[in-house]
A and B are shown apart, each in its own frame.
Chain A
């Protein structure tokens, strides 16, 4: 692919980003990370308080990407088969079976939006594991493929009633876990409350032009993009050190106040996780019009791609967001490049 095509796609990506930023204000960093994730072909998990715009953000992106879009709400009684098919009695009085959200769009499924994923049972998470990792599903004696599918999920960590924690294996399937926080800028806060434009979510999301990206070309382009952006030996060495530090932070002198570092980490970032870091970093370099990954590209995506993969001792799990942030910041501040 020529440099021109890379530049064209970059323009599309920046347009999409710009349009979404008009709809969801004050979330530039999450918007950049989701854009990165789309071009790195990774699933996204949004985390934040209630009513901060997680769903709106994902719906806006979904509209811009184009292709088949399916959505399901996570509930405590949701079962895996609810994702695959529906059964009902037809007008003829006979039982009928129709495709569920996963199968309905067939291979054109581009975004599968799982709202409130932590309300779904572990059985559902389990099904999702396979769909996310392999983009295939066996149903009705047939293998179904979803080559263009991205899973966008969100959860809030405030409510714990009737929710199920997403196991680390499932978390690891998500390329990024992006925290969404209320913007602190007073003008934005005021407009979110008083500007009626933000009160009608459907109308708001409709402002994003449809099909800004050609969803069925994203896989090919992502592959080309990954091959076009280089990573020097110095950078490779740097990334390997970052990886080692997530496993054994004490060896690199990482300390967190009030935390026994020898007991903190049960498992650091996985090879798949670090691979995703590099994929995302390459996209970030491309979005910044560079042909090679810089440490700054790694930093841009490091928290979002690694924090949710760390497995801490149960005693520290309640504080995982805070501890993970502090630990990863410590790693970046400690490991030198070159």
Chain B
């Protein structure tokens, strides 16, 4: 996709200062391209380090291929960059555990996250992967809010939490898938024991 055709994240142009700022180009794993301001990128520790390490000039940004983000699709990345543009310049919260964390979801974020749970899931993965602290905070807050007023049984259904028995069964299945011969040997051993054999060999 050419630079001209790349979908651009909604940005309030009037809010952009007159001085010339660099806009980096990123490409999602489904080949959607985004132009994101330098300031917005600072919300992501991962991307910020990446662009710093690349040391691109304004010409490089235009002439070189867009930076590929291979783990995230275009729909999710669009939300991520919209969030970053809206919150650009804001301080990144530091959680040293010294004070209880109180996270409130601002109106913009609430609207941005008015999405199905599948996309919310991807958004959290993206926020974690790109290390966007405050986006991770608000998106996790939204998931935590799903627990409100729910019984344990309801929580099990909402969060798809298996019981001990289901966990055990899944573990056995995984072991079997990994080494089917080991399971066969075990079953053979059990059968011989039932038949009264003292020795397996």
A and B found bound together = no
